[in-house]
Amino acid sequence: MKPIVEYKDYRQYMRDFFEERKRNSYFTWREFASLSGFVSPTYLKLVCDGKTRLSKPGIAKVARAMGLEGFDYTYFTLLVKFENAKTGAEKESLLQELEREARMNKIRIVDADAIRYYESPMYPIVRELAPLMPGATFGEMASKIKTPATAVDVREVLQFLVRADLLRRREDGSYEQTQTAVKGSKESIPFAIRAMNRKMTELAVDSIAGDSTDKRHFSSVTMGIDGPTYERISREVDAFRKRIVSIANGCQKIDQVYQVNFQVFPLTDKIDVSEVKKGR
C-alpha cells in the first residue's frame, strides 16, 4: 500500500487496505467489519462505496482494525473529518491541518549523500541522539553511544548531517531534525544499504552480550516455506515496519535511541521436492 499521506480520500485508503489483505489471505468485508466491531457485515463496504459515512466513533474502530498508530492514526482521522465537513471553511481548515501534518511527518529519501550516511551506524545514531541532548558537548554525546565513539567522531558526523540537511542547528546551538525519518532508495544505493544492514546486525550481536533482557527484545522462528510464502511474509514485514515507524513518530518523550532490525533469510539451499519424492 502507498503511505497514507498520498491519500486524499479515506474511503480509497480503506479499500486499498481491504484489497491488500484480500491478496495476502482470505479476507472478506464481513471479517473487516467484525475486526472493527460492527454488527453489519456490509457496513464498511457501503462506506467504501460512498453510500454511507464513517461515523466519529467508527474512526477509532476502523483505524484499530487497520493497525494504525501515531501519525497514521491522526492523518486517517483528519481524512475522515475532511470528507464529513459540511462547510467550505471547515474543509479549508482541515485541508491545512492535513498538509501541516504531512510536512511535519515527511520522510527524507537519501540518495546523493547515501554512501556517506550509510557507511557507519554513527550517522543515524547521532542524528537521533543530538536533538535529545541540547547544549551537550561532542564528548558528552559520544559517551552516550554504546559503540566506541570519540568527541571528534561526533563533531565530524554532526558537521556532515547539517551540511546534508539531515539536521538543523538552531541559534542556541541545539539540533533539530529536518525530517522525521530517513530512508535510502533500494534501487539506487543497494550496496550502501546492504553495508548498513550488516553493521546494524553486528550491533545486535553486541546487544545480546551487553544489554539485559528488559532493555532489548530478540525473538526468532525457524520455518520451512516456499517462494510465494516468502513474498507474503516480506509484505507483512514491510507493513509491520511502517506501523513501527508510525508508533515511533507518535512518541512525545524520547529519552533513548533504539535500532529495530527485521531479518528473514535462508538457512539452507533450495530443495527440489520432485527429486526428493523420487528418492534421489
With 60 as the cut, is the pLDDT of residue 112 above it? no
Q: What is the maximum span of the chain, computed from C-alpha positions, in angstroms? A: 74
CATH number of 4-105: 1.10.260
Contact 53, 83 (CB under 8 A): yes
- In tens, the pLDDT along 149-172 reads 999 999 999 999 998 888 999 988
Please list the residue range(s) of the chain that carry CATH number 1.10.10. 109-212
- In tens, the pLDDT along 193-251 reads 777 788 888 888 888 888 888 888 888 889 898 888 988 898 888 888 888 888 888 88
| Nearest CA among 175, 214, 203 for reference residue 259 | 203
Mean pLDDT of 98-116: 69
With 60 as the cut, is the pLDDT of residue 279 above it? no
| CA 132 to chain CA centroid, nearest Å | 20
Per-residue pLDDT at 24: 76
CATH class, range 109-212: mainly alpha
Contact 135, 184 (CB under 8 A): no
- Tell me how far apart the terminal alpha carbons of the chain are, to the nearest angstrom: 43
Please list the residue range(s) of the chain that carry CATH number 1.10.260. 4-105
Per-residue pLDDT at 97: 85
Q: Supply the pTM of this predicted model.
A: 0.57
- Which has the higher per-residue pLDDT, 182 or 23? 23
CA distance 96 to 89: 11
